[in-house]
Amino acid sequence: MEKEVYGEPNKIKVCDKCGEKAVTKCYFCGADLCVDCMAWVQFVDKEILRGKTFIFYYNKPLCKEELPSRRDCE
């Protein structure tokens, strides 16, 4: 979401969850996120193409709301 700030000629991006200044977008839902409302998540995806296995490593920002309620590391 963009918000016009008084005295600034340009609009700035604000967090869709809390209204603070946004720094990135959620990889899953596309919401603008601030530092407090986002979580960096690392995950692995595996695809088989033409008989070969390709492994993809992702390091993406997500909304904290998109995270599962209980994680195996807890």
Domain ranges (residues) in the chain: 6-65
Give the whole-angstrom CA distance, residue 31 versus residue 69: 20
Q: Tell me the pLDDT tens digit for each residue of 31-52.
A: 999 999 999 888 888 999 999 9
pTM: 0.62
Q: Which of 19, 10, 22 is nearest to 61 (CA)?
A: 22
**Digitized pLDDT (tens) for each residue of the chain, 74 residues in all:** 666 666 666 778 888 888 888 889 998 888 999 999 999 888 888 999 999 999 999 899 988 887 877 666 54
